[in-house]
Every structure is written in C-alpha cells, then in structure tokens.
Amino acid sequence: MQHQTMAREPRARQITFTALLIMATMFGMGKELMAQANASTTVKNIVLVHGGFVDGSGWEGVYNALTNDGYTVTIVQNPTISLEDDVAVTKRAIALQNGPVILVGHSYGGAVITQAGNDPKVAGLVYVTAFALDKGESVSSLIKDPPPGAPVPPILPPVDGFLLLDKAKFPASFAGDVSPEVAAFMAASQVPWGLNALGGVVSEPAWRTKPSWYLVTTEDKMIPPEAQRAMSKRAGSTVVEVKGSHAIYVSQPQAVALFLSKRPQRVPWWQGKNKPQRVHWPPQNRVADNRDSTRRRLPGGCPAHWRSLRLPGGLICNSREHLLRSSLVARR
C-alpha cells in the first residue's frame, strides 16, 4: 500500500504542475489579449467532439470539471462514419446553444470542428492533439506519409469499410498514460472508424477566420508531436505543450478543462495573424517561439523587462515586447 501511494505522488505532482502552468500561461496571455478586445461577448457554451475509435464518454472527466466551473457543456456523439455526417451532427449540437460557442475537437474531431466551425455561433476552435486540416485536405491525405521515424498507429486492415486498432497495441499507442484497466476497456469498446470519415475533405477551414488554440501532447503515438506543431503553426493557433498521450483528455481531464476554461474569455480577442505561443512542459531551460528558431538559456531567471510568475516547477516569463511570447525558465 505504501509503495502504491509513493508511486502515485510523482504523477499527482505532474498533473498539478501541468495545471498550474496552463493556468498561469493563459492568465498572462489573456490579460494582454483582452486589452485589445473589440467586443465583449462572454462565451460559456462549450461543445466537445470526440475522435475516431472512441465515443463521447471519454470526455466525462472534462465535462465534470467544466460544468462545476459553470460552463454549459455539450458532448457530440458523432458516428464517425463520414465527415459530412459528423459535421451535420455537430452543427445540430451548435444550433441548440443559447449563445456563442467554443468548439473543441480531439484527434479526428479536429477535422470535424475545422468544417463545422464555420457556423456563425462558433466563436473559437480548440484542438486537443487533433487534425487541423486545410482546404482540400483529409485525415487520410495527412497520415499516408508519416514523418521518418514517427510511430505508426496499429490500425488493422479495413473490414466492410471500417477500421479498428489492434487491441493488444491500443494501450501503448492511444492511451499510454491511462490506467491499464481503463486503457484495456477503451481497446475492447472501440467504435469502428469509417473510411469515408478519414477520406472526408474540408472545403473551408474555420481557423482561417476564427481564433484557435492547440494542446500539443508530447508523448503522442497516434499523431506525432511534430505533426501537431506543424498544423498548429499553419493555423496560427495559440499553443500549449503538455507531457501526455493521445488520450490526455482521459488521463488528465482537469488539465484539459483548465486549458479550455483559462483561455481568454471574450471574443473577438485575436485576429489570428500573430504566430502562436508555445510553452514546453516539463521545463526544458529554453525559450521557443514560432516567430523564429531562437532558443536562449536564461539561467538566473526572467530578464528585467519581462514579467514573471513563480511556480513550483519554475518561472513563467512573459515578455512585454511581444504579445504572444511566453517561456518557462526551470529552477533546477
């Protein structure tokens, strides 16, 4: 029993630090962006869209955290048979909302929200390790040529036009940081993913006209982190990087809920023209920014002209010179 308690302590600290990092980052960024707001429409409706091989029940932890914070949360049960049908189901959920909506997609759900997000009620898009497709792209077109050395998802040959993951390999590939019992259940309860859904083409990506955020998971074995970074950079998303698997919404629901709730709350707060912010977790003693490839060590703390916020795992440094630059400086 003592051994199990000690084994849980590092994971509890990781989740706590992750939540603190996201909260501090979003608070500092939100203050700057809110100062430039042109309107003041408060967004309290959040619509969650799941990806392939799973259903909406995986959002339960995120749903509970958000509803406890006063948000109205709707979970879409998209059938994942075709992109067209999934977009239609999502738009029906959007139509039921009583005001502006933040549309959230995980994995293939990112393709769905990219198209469905053109709905006038959608105020912004949030990608949780998801496919942020461009015009004319499909999930199939993006995954057919994986980067060299990237892990290959254990997708079995199609049967009657539908795909499944190898059950034995599902936990390591999809849910590496989920408890073995839950990962085994997810593998056994897979929802077949239709080939027509993978081949569905986006006609007009909503991120071209609406603000977006992207949660990159650095230990993802389904969508390589570099692919996530490339899509988020192209979309001009505000980016936070978290150590976690493809199933981070299951393994770290509080952190994901915090990421959703602590983004700037009023729209339009950003015109999507700036390059995205990137925050690395755990601390890596570096500054990374999509405007350039500059990486500098800051051994003693934040520069004098930067604001700082001390956390258990380090300092958050927010530059006054650039609207969307932020970095974590580790105190080892």
Residue 35 belongs to some domain of the structure = yes
What pLDDT is attached to residue 322? Answer: 29
Q: What is the arithmetic mean of pLDDT over 120-127?
A: 96
Residue of 105 and 314 predicted with greater confidence: 105
- Summarize pLDDT for 294-322 with one digit per residue, the tens: 223 333 344 443 333 333 333 333 333 22
Domain membership flag for residue 64: yes
In a domain, 157, yes or no: no
For position 146, what pLDDT does the model report? 79
Q: Which residue has the higher pLDDT, 189 or 329?
A: 189
Percentage of the chain with pLDDT > 70? 67
% residues pLDDT > 90 (the chain)? 62
Residue 58 is classified by DSSP as G
Place of tokens 């003592």: 2
Q: Is the pLDDT of residue 226 over 60?
A: yes
The whole-number pLDDT of residue 290 equals 34
CA–CA gap between residue 90 and residue 176 (Å, rounded): 28
| Partner residues linked to 126 by β-bridges | 104, 213
Q: What is the pLDDT of residue 150?
A: 85
The model's pLDDT over 205-224, given as tens digits with 9 standing for 90+, comes to 999 999 999 999 999 999 99
Domain that holds residue 90: 2-151+194-282
Q: For 5-33, what is the mean pLDDT?
A: 49
Q: Is residue 187 part of a domain?
A: no
**Does residue 327 lie within any of the structural domains?**
no
Helix (H) or strand (E) holding 104: strand 101-107
pLDDT score of 196 more than 60: yes
**How many domains are there within the chain?**
1
Nearest to 187 by CA among 205, 198, 174, 206: 174
Nearest partner of 141 among 204, 86, 199, judged by Cα: 199
Q: What number is the average pLDDT over the span 240-244?
A: 93
* CATH number of residue 110's parent domain: 3.40.50.1820
In the prediction, which pLDDT does 17 show? 54
| Residue 32 covered by a domain | yes
The pLDDT score that the predictor gives to residue 42 is 72
Confidence tier at 9 by pLDDT (50, 70, 90): low
313 in any annotated domain: no
Give the helix/strand (H/E) hosting 235. helix 225-235
More confident residue, 208 or 281: 208
Structure confidence at residue 19 as a pLDDT band (50, 70, 90): low
One-letter amino acid identity for 94?
A: I
**Mean per-residue pLDDT, 125-145:** 95
| Residues paired with residue 317 on neighbouring β-strands, in sequence order | 308, 327
Mean pLDDT of 244-252: 97
Q: Yes or no: say if 316 and 328 are a contact pair by the CB < 8 Å rule.
A: yes
pLDDT per residue over 54-67, tens digit each?
999 999 999 999 99
Report pLDDT for 175.
Answer: 97
Q: Is residue 284's pLDDT more than 60?
A: no
Q: Are 269 and 211 in contact (CB under 8 A)?
A: yes
* Rounded mean pLDDT, 29-33: 38
In a domain, 211, yes or no: yes
> What sections of 122-210 are H helices per DSSP?
139-143, 170-174, 180-188, 195-198
Residue pLDDT, tens place only, 137-192? 999 999 988 778 889 999 999 999 999 999 999 999 999 999 999 999 999 999 99
